[in-house]
Structure 1
Amino acid sequence: MKRAGLGMVGLAVLAWACTGAPESLPQPTIVAVEPATLPVNTKNDDITIRFDARYAMTVDYGAEKVDARMGSGRIWVDEEEATVTRFDPTGVAIATVPQGLGAGVHAVRLRLDDGREAVSKEALTLRPPGQEAVDPPILEDGGVLMATDAGPIIKGFDGGVGDGGEPEDAGPGAEDPMREGDVTAYVFDPIEGTRISRTAFTITVHAQGPRAGHFQGSLELIASRGTVKPAKIGPCDSGVCNATIILDAPAGNVHLNSVDAFGVTGESNTFRLEPYK
């Protein structure tokens, strides 16, 4: 004998309705789209859609079996259907952004097999070529950074010229706090060849700017797909940040972004990731 019951599978909540019809279940919701900003695509970029959905289920207490009616789904960016490379009904889908979309803000739409849909109207921004990404989160702790320190004051003179016309302060040194504008960008050494998911490899990131050589803070790392550990690297040494990281993501193209406490970013080249065997 089968009876209706409630259960939990992964991130998605399973709910049985009396009729079993899709319209008796609530619509799914899109929780997040990652990354939220990409360049106008000249290559195959992937996005990860995280969602919540309820599904019908029945419990056969006699046979001690649970029948969860969970299927797959489809993804659109605006009116262009994306190629879905992975669909986990418990709350994660990975899709390739369609080619030909213009710069600007785009909606992402998710449709489950049973016809229920969720739309996030401003989920993805495609930026023009050459425009710097600004959407990665800003670190609260970037090391020894200070936005309001103009440098040491010597004998009443602050970084300028004394009464006698002679410079009294040559500017901030390596031990002085960093200020906004001291670092203007971060550059990754090329990540060459194919990398393996869940297998460690090393990266090197160089600070750029007027005081790049003084940077000894930390950087946050964000992967275009999946997760990267550690998510924060540092302290850096004289503007050079070396780290050993592990990427966990499905096979495909991926790149890394870095961001410091002032929101200054850097982006690696795109490289291939293969599954762990």
Structure 2
Amino acid sequence: MKRAGLGMVGMAVLAWACTGGPESLPPPSITGVEPATLPVNTKDDDITVRFDARYAVAVDYGTQKVDARMGSGRIWVDEEEATVTRFDPTGVAIATVPRGLGAGVHAVRLRLDDGREAVAREALTLRPPGQEGVDPPLLEDGGVLMASDAGPIFRCRDAGVDTEDCGDPRDAGPGPDDPMREGDITAYAFDAIEGTRMSRTSFAITVRAQGPRAGHFQGSLELFASRGTVTPTKIGPCDSGVCDATIVMDAPAGNVHLNAVDSFGVTGESNTFRLEPYK
């Protein structure tokens, strides 16, 4: 005899409904769309849609078997259906952005096989051809070269001379809010990128500033791949010298590495790792 039960598969929660129909289950929810910004109609770009969904599951305690009623799904960008190249019901779908969409902000819609839907409004921005993505302006960017230090200058009165003089002025040193100068950052170090990564599938990286004022760095970095492309091409602003980002690489199978550079020309290079085509 089959009885109702609960199970967990990846990020998706399996739940049995007494009626057995999809109407007894909550709708799915879209938790993220990566990348969030792409050029319009320049090539066939892919997006990764992450979602949470609950599914019906029946447990046969006699045979110790679980029948998880999970299927596939479809993706739309506005009213244009996208081609789904990979669908993992536990929470990840990869789809090719339809051609013909105009520049601007677009909604992403997910529909499961049982008819339940989720919509993420303003989830994808398509920028006009030739227009690069622009990050919000930074108050103090490591790429700005300052001719002099904004740190305070302290003078004192020399007891032997009736004028304000204590020899050379003494600089108290720059603080966390002072602009970065050339030489404050000497290099950038990537946290190890371990294992094999999949092309066109997002993953996280961390880049750390090094140098006398590494902990003060709050600027941005340009990213380059040794082969193929990396999106986004600029990460930041960093937080106390630590730059966390989620990126997507697109390159043929093989060994690759990443490079980071700031506006002063200070660079850093990741370890070499394997990139495989997405399946």
Q: TM-score, normalised by structure 2?
A: 0.61
Long gaps (5+) in structure 2: 154-176, 192-197, 212-220, 240-244, 254-275
Residue 259 of structure 1 pairs with residue 239 of structure 2:
no
The residue correspondences of 1:133-172 to structure 2 (distance < 5 A) are 133-134=133-134, 145=142, 151-152=148-149
The residue correspondences of 1:195-234 to structure 2 (distance < 5 A) are 216=186, 218=188, 225-228=200-203, 230-232=205-207
The residue correspondences of 1:85-96 to structure 2 (distance < 5 A) are 85-96=85-96
Distance 1:269 1:59 in 2: 41
Shift of the alpha carbon at 1:242?
11
What is the DSSP-based 3-state SS (H/G/I as helix, E as strand, rest coil) of the residue aligned with 2:98? coil
The answer to whether the 8 Å contact 2:109/2:117 transfers is yes
Distance 1:106 1:24 in 2: 30
For residues 183-225 of structure 1, the C-alpha deviation after alignment (integer angstroms, 9 at most, x for no partner) is: xxxxxxxxxxxxxxxxxxxxxxxxxxxx7x986464989x993
Distance 1:44 1:214 in 2: 41
Q: 1:220 to 1:85 in 2, by over 3 A?
A: farther
Residue 26 of structure 1 pairs with residue 6 of structure 2:
no
Residue 130 of structure 1 pairs with residue 130 of structure 2:
yes
Shift of the alpha carbon at 1:105?
0.2
Identity %: 61
Shift of the alpha carbon at 1:104?
0.2
Q: 1:22 to 1:218 in 2, by over 3 A?
A: same
Long gaps (5+) in structure 1: 157-176, 183-210, 248-252
Match of 2:157? none
The answer to whether the 8 Å contact 1:40/1:101 transfers is yes
What is the DSSP-based 3-state SS (H/G/I as helix, E as strand, rest coil) of the residue aligned with 1:107? strand
The residue correspondences of 1:1-277 to structure 2 (distance < 5 A) are 1-134=1-134, 145=142, 151-152=148-149, 179=179, 216=186, 218=188, 225-228=200-203, 230-232=205-207, 235=210, 255-257=230-232, 258-261=234-237, 271-273=251-253, 274-275=276-277
For residues 7-61 of structure 1, the C-alpha deviation after alignment (integer angstroms, 9 at most, x for no partner) is: 1111000111111011111100000000111111310100000000000001011
Name the larger-Rg structure. 2
Shift of the alpha carbon at 1:121?
1.2
Distance 1:153 1:243 in 2: 29
Q: TM-score, normalised by structure 1?
A: 0.61
Distance 1:122 1:220 in 2: 32
The answer to whether the 8 Å contact 2:57/2:68 transfers is yes
The answer to whether the 8 Å contact 2:39/2:126 transfers is yes
Distance 1:107 1:70 in 2: 25
Q: 1:218 to 1:102 in 2, by over 3 A?
A: farther
For residues 149-200 of structure 1, the C-alpha deviation after alignment (integer angstroms, 9 at most, x for no partner) is: 773279x8xxxxxxxxxxxxxxxxxxxx9948x9xxxxxxxxxxxxxxxxxx
Distance 1:110 1:276 in 2: 21
CA RMSD of aligned residues (A): 4.6
Runs ≥4 residues deviating over 6 A: 146-150, 241-247
The answer to whether the 8 Å contact 1:25/1:55 transfers is yes
The answer to whether the 8 Å contact 1:229/1:246 transfers is no
